[in-house]
Amino acid sequence: MRSGTVAVIGKANAGKSTLINVLVGEKVAIVSPKPQTTRDRILGILTRENYQIVFADTPGIYKQRNALTGLMMKTTETTARDVDAILFVHDGHAGVREEDTELMKKYAELGVPMIVAYTKIDIMQKERIPEDVKAIFDAGVTADVYPVSARKGMRIAQLEAAIAGMLPEGEAFYPEDIVSDRSDKFMVAELMREKILLKYEKEIPHGVAVVVNTFEKHENGTYEVNLDIVCEKKNHKAILIGKQGAALKEVASFARKDMEKLLGAKVFLTVYVKVREDWRDRGSLMKELGYFEE
């Protein structure tokens, strides 16, 4: 038996969370076309007969802009140092630039085995793949490169085998039916945040935190969920709610459907929008909203 933890590293939007979801075979991390979708470290666990891979999804590599992105970058850095292997995810569709190969080298040199997943090959010209792989080698990156598509599930089995091959011998750490280290309550908040990321533009989704106040299962099997969407500005609140509440009603309804899929039961969802001025710059407020410094 092999087992170990794999840090999933790469730029914002590279496709890290999507890749973990397909490897694990369940949605353990939310996904959106916007950067800063993943804020916390989340574990996704894949158990087979001969190995257990514990993927640590990370917020990705950021320039520090405020206390939240600062904490997100720190989460990425500490995760990369404290694992058995690194899976560096590169968006192949975006091309290979020097800054990309420099980043790959930086992580390859940490002394932890690393491979590169070159993803999104479903939306790019196939001819470019060998040229890019060569460019990565020529730049001096000492890691094997695996072209894949998470969205279309292309070449995922090869990537999985390569990742398993990097892990040390050892017993499984988690029971085989566990796919995530996060609670249903956490995932419910994340699903709400995902729908906000998908629906609203610009600063609005990045300034939002979701706080679950009630998460209760009733005797008849249904769930009651009450949550707050906390935003940074009064005008953001107005946009979030929309004309006669139409926008909020729509996102809440999308989120509720996903929550029902996750929980396998009917969900009664109540959502309030609250304003906490500039919470992303205030450590104490961040803590209150569920973002901790460890």
Ligand X SMILES: Nc1nc2c(ncn2[C@@H]2O[C@H](COP(=O)(O)OP(=O)(O)O)[C@@H](O)[C@H]2O)c(=O)[nH]1
CB of 72 or CB of 133, closer to Mg ion = 72
58: contact with Mg ion by CB under 5 A: no
User: What residue ranges bind ligand X (CB under 6 A)?
Assistant: 10, 12-18, 31-33, 37-38, 60, 119-120, 122-123, 149-151
- The minimum distance between CB 159 and ligand X, in angstroms, equals 11
Tokens of 134: 């060569």
Cross-strand bridge partners of residue 267: 223
Q: Which does 14 bind (CB under 5 to 8 A by kind): ligand X, Mg ion, none?
A: ligand X
CB of 23 or CB of 251, closer to ligand X = 23
Angstrom distance (rounded) from CA 206 to CA 203: 5
Chain residue whose CB lies nearest ligand X: 15
- The minimum distance between CB 275 and ligand X, in angstroms, equals 27
**Number of residues this chain uses to bind Mg ion (CB under 5 A):** 4
17: contact with Mg ion by CB under 5 A: yes
Angstrom distance (rounded) from CA 153 to CA 168: 26
- The minimum distance between CB 120 and ligand X, in angstroms, equals 4
Angstrom distance (rounded) from CA 9 to CA 60: 6
Q: Which does 119 bind (CB under 5 to 8 A by kind): ligand X, Mg ion, none?
A: ligand X
Give the DSSP per-residue string, 126-142. TTHHHHHHHHHHHTT--
CB of 122 or CB of 144, closer to ligand X = 122
Q: Between the CA of residue 57 and those of 15, 72, 206, 247, what are the distances in Å? A: 11, 11, 18, 30
Q: Which does 15 bind (CB under 5 to 8 A by kind): ligand X, Mg ion, none?
A: ligand X
CB of 202 or CB of 274, closer to ligand X = 202
- The minimum distance between CB 186 and ligand X, in angstroms, equals 17
Contact flags string 18-47 toward Mg ion, x per CB under 5 A: -------------------xx---------
CB of 100 or CB of 190, closer to Mg ion = 190
- The minimum distance between CB 16 and Mg ion, in angstroms, equals 5
- The minimum distance between CB 147 and ligand X, in angstroms, equals 10
The footprint of Mg ion (CB under 5 A) covers 16-17, 37-38
